[in-house]
């Protein structure tokens, strides 16, 4: 199990993705979903503003601010820097208007 494996979040609610499975006696066999968290980590890093994560205040791109800015090169740099710190290698990064495409994986 590498850095890309972890607890999944429900993308609609931003809460834990829980699917309770019970055996015939009612004993819980499974609950919290585990899987590839690469995409949810990228999304979290992009949307968080620096200082928002108290445990590590330098994490975050604050992509919401990009709506007020047109310096896409600056945001590309921030995204590359943040994902590199996270231990990811970017295979593709494109920003056009409000569309952001990121293809990255853990090194």
pLDDT at 11 over 90: no
* pTM (two decimals): 0.83
Reference 81, options 51, 99, 98, 104; nearest CA is: 104
pLDDT in tens, 22-63: 999 999 999 999 999 999 999 999 999 999 999 999 999 999
Check whether residue 53 and residue 90 sit in a common domain: yes
Check whether residue 43 and residue 79 sit in a common domain: yes
Q: Which two tokens stand for residue 1?
A: 């199990």
How many structural domains is the chain composed of? 2
Reference 36, options 6, 60, 16; nearest CA is: 6
Question: What is the domain extent for residue 28?
Answer: 1-36
Check whether residue 16 and residue 47 sit in a common domain: no
What are the phi and psi torsion angles at 72 (to 5°)?
-65, -30
């Amino acid at each position: 199990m590498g850095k890309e494996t972890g607890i999944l979040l429900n993308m609609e609610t931003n809460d834990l993705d829980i699917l309770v499975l019970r055996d015939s006696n009612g004993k819980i066999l499974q609950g919290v979903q585990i899987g590839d968290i690469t995409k949810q980590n990228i999304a979290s890093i992009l949307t968080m503003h620096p200082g928002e994560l108290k445990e590590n205040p330098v994490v975050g791109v604050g992509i919401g601010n990009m709506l007020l800015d047109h310096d896409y090169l600056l945001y590309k740099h921030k995204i590359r820097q943040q994902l590199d710190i996270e231990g990811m290698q970017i295979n593709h990064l494109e920003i056009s208007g409000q569309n952001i495409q990121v293809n990255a994986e853990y090194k």
